[in-house]
Amino acid sequence: MAIVTGAIHMEGRVGGLIFYRRGNKTCCRSMPNYRPDSQSAASRQSAGEFGKASKAAKLIRHAMNGLWPLPHDGTLVNRLNKTLYSALLKDAVHPRGQRTLAPAALQQTLTGFRFN
């Protein structure tokens, strides 16, 4: 990590360098090198399952949208995603990457869930 000590105040990206502030210092680092194969197979499978849970949570939120007016809660999306992902992880029948949301697991994890 480089620290800029001159009179130049920069933030953002320039070519392959990223300038950012940490406290009162302007720091510089190189861009990370991401490759398509940098994620392991297990990480890709887990990310896909979390995507399934997030899509299911979105369907639930949209289905309940017109039932009653809920006050704005910025944490609802993340809490519901986490809850449905935990329901997905309860599927012991299918291997990672192929797990599904079972109605019994949904009922068990959503019991007591607060939408407000």
Residue 48's pLDDT is what? 92
Name the nearest CA neighbour of 85 among 46, 43, 112, 40.
46
Calculate the CA 104 to chain-centre distance: 25
Residue 53's pLDDT is what? 95
How many angstroms separate the first and last alpha carbons of the chain?
44
Taking only the tens of pLDDT, the chain with its 116 residues reads 566 667 777 788 888 888 888 888 888 889 888 777 788 889 889 999 999 999 999 998 888 887 877 677 888 899 999 999 999 999 989 999 899 999 999 999 999 998 87
